[in-house]
Amino acid sequence: MFAKTTTIDGERYVVYDVFFNNDGASMAHLSRYQIYRLILPPQILDLTSEGLYKGNTLRDLKFETYTRNGNSGTLSQNPENFTRTATHNVNFLNNSTDYGSGWRKLTYFNALDIRHNGEYNRDMRDTFKGNSNDPLLIHAVTRTESKFNRYSYGFGVKTEDRDSAIHMQVKAKLKAGVTDDQVREAFALAVVGTFGLTTNQAYTFISGKDASEPKYTDYPDQPVQPTLREKQAKLYPIQGSRHTKVVGDTIPNTGNPVADKYITRKGSGDFPAGMSWSWEGNNSPSTANAGKFTYTAIARYQDGSTSKDANSGSDGKVHFTVNPKKPTITTSVVNKKGLTNQTIEVNVGSGVKNGSVVKLYDGDRVIGQGTSNGTTARITVSGALPGNPLKAETTVDNGGVVVSEKSDPVTPTEAPDTQAPTLAITPANQTVVEGQNVTFTVTARDNKHVNLDANDFLTKYGTRVFSGKASVTSPTDTDTEKIRTITITTTAEDVGKTNTITFNATDNANHRAAPVSFTFTVTKRDNIPPTITAGNATVTSREQITPISVTAVDNTGGVGMRDNNPIEVTGLPSGLTYANNRITGTPTGAPGNSTVTIKAYDKNGNMATKTITITVRSQADAHNPTGAGLTVNQNHTITDAELKAKVSNAGPGTLSIVSRPSTANAGNAGNAVVKVTYPDGTFDNVNVPVTVTDVTGPTITAESATVTKNESITPIPVTAVDNTGGVGMRDNNPIEVTNLPAGLRYANNQITGTPTAGVGYYTVTIKAYDKNNRLTTKQIRITVRSQADAHNPTGETLTVPYNHNITDDEVKAKVQNFAPGTLTVQSKPSTNTSGNVGNAVVKVTYPDGSHDTVNVPVVVGRPNKDDYTPKYNDGSGKPGESVEIPVSEANGKKIPTGTTYTSGTPGIITVDKTTGKVTVTIPSDKNPGDKVTGKVLVRYPDGSEEEVPVTVTVVNRDKDDYTPKYNDGSGKPGESVEIPVSEANGKKIPTGTTYTSGTP
């Protein structure tokens, strides 16, 4: 077990690395499982005030399993001899959780500590096996703060894979203020053991120290020399860094990358002493040239390992981004605004690779670029130089692209203006009809700045602009070009004269352009509107209509229809549109009438209006679906498809079945109803007549029967009915019966008669016909039996009293079902015992000479002595007294009349022969507590008898039960003193007691 302290996100942790089953060989021979546990010292952990884990008390708990690939060594010291087979990251709070699969799985437990309660001894024995009484182990798990005895701080895994080594690592957060010495002194235990109460192997590694711990003197004084499991390069990996600089920046370069802040320890913490540093290829960080550069620092540790070793985990790369210096524009741009093909020279500074790109910006817009040569770059700007601030930027691609800060700006100034502006107007003139618009465009241009003068237009037509009768738009409005498009709606005041508008232009140098003018002429307008042709129409909802023609022509000699949208149509039903002289589409609105307004315009704006009515009818009104007849067999299930196939002329409708008649009855079954639902939501119900054909024969009801020869039979019913809803049975001879046994006949739905045929069975054929002569056949069997086989006499149980004399009539009365037979009693059992005494035997002789023997079971009742329990209650009396005790029945029954009683001890007990009352005379010499006993012989009417005991107990005389007393009295001489008698124990002295003075 190894432990070290570390800092993570500003918090101190102790990291435990525990190697269980370190040699990768099973420690158990008979046990199936091994268990590995780590018990932590709670007093150093960051816990709640109650001693519970916090959410981050433990972190990064993992278990790695390894198998040997060599012949010797341990995982902790010879990891090269092991192959890792699995890594399991564990949530330390998830108890009883399996990781992995099959026999190699680990089961994690988070409560593997020693419980300090009634389970303490069991936990010590289960954990440490035979070492459970070891004083060091007892000391190590004893906690001074009671709150730590309530919870578990032990956890680990159980595994069936006993040959794998396991590396467990966990980071335990330390309580604030805990020192490294306290961590070293706190007891942590790693325990490897076999799993199960009956297993006996456990090995414990203990880390800790305490001044009061038990002292051991029997260990050899041979200090253990630890062997490091990792090289320093792997324990203290290095981490490089990234830096951004400008060419020529001063940077540290002392030869110690840590001091220069280029290298830190990966994770956190300090490096060990005795390290040395170098730069790979002697190439250390520099800012001499622009670009992106990577330098590799190499650490050499005291144990000879380096950060370049395989699997060291180090990253010594130090990345430098060195941007170019801020460039400077050196070419003068005075009086160069607007000039083209200008060359601008830029100083990019030192450290820039030849051929690097330098761009010239007008704001965010690149207006030219060139490449560097040494410290200079030349940029040719083909377009006119703007009068805005210009900046230069250097881009170098050297191990990666880096970009400089933009240069300070320079602003080109204008050259003197020597060129006059120009004016143009299009068209120069136009002729229109009164009320129509005239439109023209005037364009003013200058090489630097043009000013358009439209005062003549504003003076003449400014009021029309404000009234909306004239408008001005500006397609272009720059310093060098101004374009205005003007539209004027002509009025009556423009008719019959020449209307002229003149425009002027100047530049900022006061040069003037040659004026231009627009002239327009207005003629008197046509006032007659066009003629519209369109008619009413009826259309169907949700169906494309036949186009409805809509046309309009201007009056003969008129100005003609206007060019754009000469016809306007409004108020159309939803789904219809007008275009190209036609109303088309598919109505989507509700059925009804729509008043459609049609307007037509000529070129003078004369408008004609006409309304038509477009009636939208429902699809149900438009279509007339019909239903053809459907013929089906009786009880056929009519399908939707069969009904839908009989509906025609349904148009775009969707068919669904509303109802269908029953096919249970043949003939005209009525109509099925099919609903035709159209896309517009309307519907029709269509009747489909249904005819049902009877295809089922009658149903015959008749059962096989057994009859007795020469005896009239019970009629055998034979019926037949047509199927439900069928055509019915035919009128004449609907049922035919053949092959009856001799003596039997069929008529009126039954077979009757007295069979004379020989004994045996006969197959009888029955045929039934409906009105369509559809035939059904059924066969039954009639069996003719002899009289002897026909009857089955039986004997019922005969119950008689004890010692009863059974008569023949009593026996014969118990014989049943002997029909015409004659009865003779052949034997009877004795009745001198109770219960089932056997059978009486009766012979039944039939007229045909055959016979049966019938047993009649006989049951004899219980004797009276078994049904009654006479008793005499115990009596009591005083010596010399006679005590009478009546007889009673223990269960409250009445003892049978005729019962007699005889004393079994005549000298002591006398008894009334008929009532059973006994009189017991107690001898005078008997003492209290003595018992006088005897017996009475009871004989019942059925002759059974039994003896009944009698007991009388001798009780005290009165003088033995009472203690009369007179309390002492007092009086004066000559006085009479009365003293009442009392009973010493507070009893009441019996009435009838007499008193006589002993000293009269």
Q: What was the pLDDT predicted at 409?
A: 96
At 538, the pLDDT band (50, 70, 90 cuts) reads very high
pLDDT at 223 over 60: no
Q: Say yes or no to pLDDT of 212 above 70.
A: no
Report if residue 415 sits inside a domain.
no
> Which range is least confidently modeled, 206-220, 859-873, 964-978?
206-220
- Same domain as 194, residue 224: yes
Do residues 384 and 439 both lie within one domain?
A: no
* Residues 27 and 142 placed together within one structural domain of the fold: yes
Q: Which of 403, 432, 461 is the last residue of a domain?
A: 403
219 pLDDT tier (thresholds 50, 70, 90): very low
Q: How big, in percent rounded to 5, are the helix, strand and coil portions of the chain? A: 10, 45, 50
Residue 221: per-residue pLDDT: 42
Task: Provide DSSP, 34-103.
Answer: EEEEEE--GGGB-B-TTSPBPTTSEEEEEEEEEEE-SSS--TTT-GGGEEEEEEEEE-TT-TTEEESSGG
Interatomic CA distance for residues 61 and 155, integer angstroms: 10
| Average pLDDT score over residue span 338-366 | 95
Residue ranges making up the domain that contains 45: 2-229
User: Where is average pLDDT lowest: 68-72, 411-415, 716-720?
Assistant: 68-72
Task: Specify if 897 maps to a domain.
Answer: yes
Residues 685 and 760 reside in one and the same domain: no
130-155 average pLDDT score = 90
Same domain, 90 and 207: yes
d(CA 782, CA 762): 5
Compute the average pLDDT of residues 252-257.
Answer: 90
Question: Does 80 have pLDDT greater than 70?
Answer: yes
Span 148-175, average pLDDT:
93
**Would you state the pLDDT for residue 450?**
94
Same domain, 597 and 628: no
Mean residue pLDDT across the chain: 90
* Lowest mean pLDDT segment, chosen from 788-792, 808-812, 987-991: 788-792
CATH number at residue 373: 2.60.40
pLDDT-above-90 percentage for the chain? 66
651: domain CATH number is: 2.60.40.10
Question: Considering the domain boundaries, does residue 976 fall inside one?
Answer: no
Tokens of 611: 């309304």
pLDDT in tens, 445-495: 998 899 999 999 999 999 999 999 999 999 999 999 999 999 999 998 898
Quick check: is 94 in a domain?
Answer: yes
When pLDDT is cut at 50, 70 and 90, the band that residue 70 belongs to is confident
296 band by pLDDT with thresholds 50, 70 and 90: very high
CA–chain centroid gap for 896, Å, is 82
- pLDDT 10s digits, 2-17: 999 999 988 999 999 9
pLDDT tens across 673-688, in order? 999 999 888 999 999 9
Residues 85 and 225 both lie in one domain = yes
Residue of 554, 556, 682 whose CA lies nearest to 622: 682
**224 pLDDT tier (thresholds 50, 70, 90):** very low
How confident is the model at residue 213, as a pLDDT? 53
Q: Which of 156-165, 348-357, 565-574 has the lowest mean pLDDT?
A: 156-165
Q: Give the pair of three-digit tokens for residue 932.
A: 């006088």
Q: How confident is the model at residue 414 (pLDDT cuts 50, 70, 90)?
A: confident
- Identify the domain boundary among 289, 323, 357: 323
Residue range 298-313: mean pLDDT, rounded:
90
| Same domain as 881, residue 844 | no
Residue-level pLDDT at 228: 41
Structural domain includes residue 978: no
Domain presence at residue 409: no
How many distinct structural domains can be found in the chain?
Answer: 9
Kindly state the average pLDDT of the residues 892-915. Answer: 92
992 lies in some domain: no
How many CB atoms neighbour CB 607 within 10 A? 13
Q: Is the pTM of this model over 0.75?
A: no
535 with 630, same domain?
Answer: no
Question: 783: which residues sit within 8 A by CB, 6+ positions away?
Answer: 704, 705, 706, 707, 760, 761, 762
For residues 71 and 207, state if they share a domain: yes
| Separation CA 368–CA 384 (nearest Å) | 11
Residue 211, pLDDT > 70, answer no
Residues 604 and 537 in one domain: yes
Residue 273 within any structural domain of the chain: yes
- 785, 809, 829 — which closes off a domain? 785
Q: For the residues 911-916, what does the mean pLDDT come to?
A: 94
pLDDT at 982 over 60: yes
Residues 180, 185, 191, 196, CA torsion sign: negative
The answer to whether residues 597 and 634 belong to one domain is no
Would you put residue 588 in left (φ > 0), alpha (ψ -120 to 50) or beta? Answer: alpha
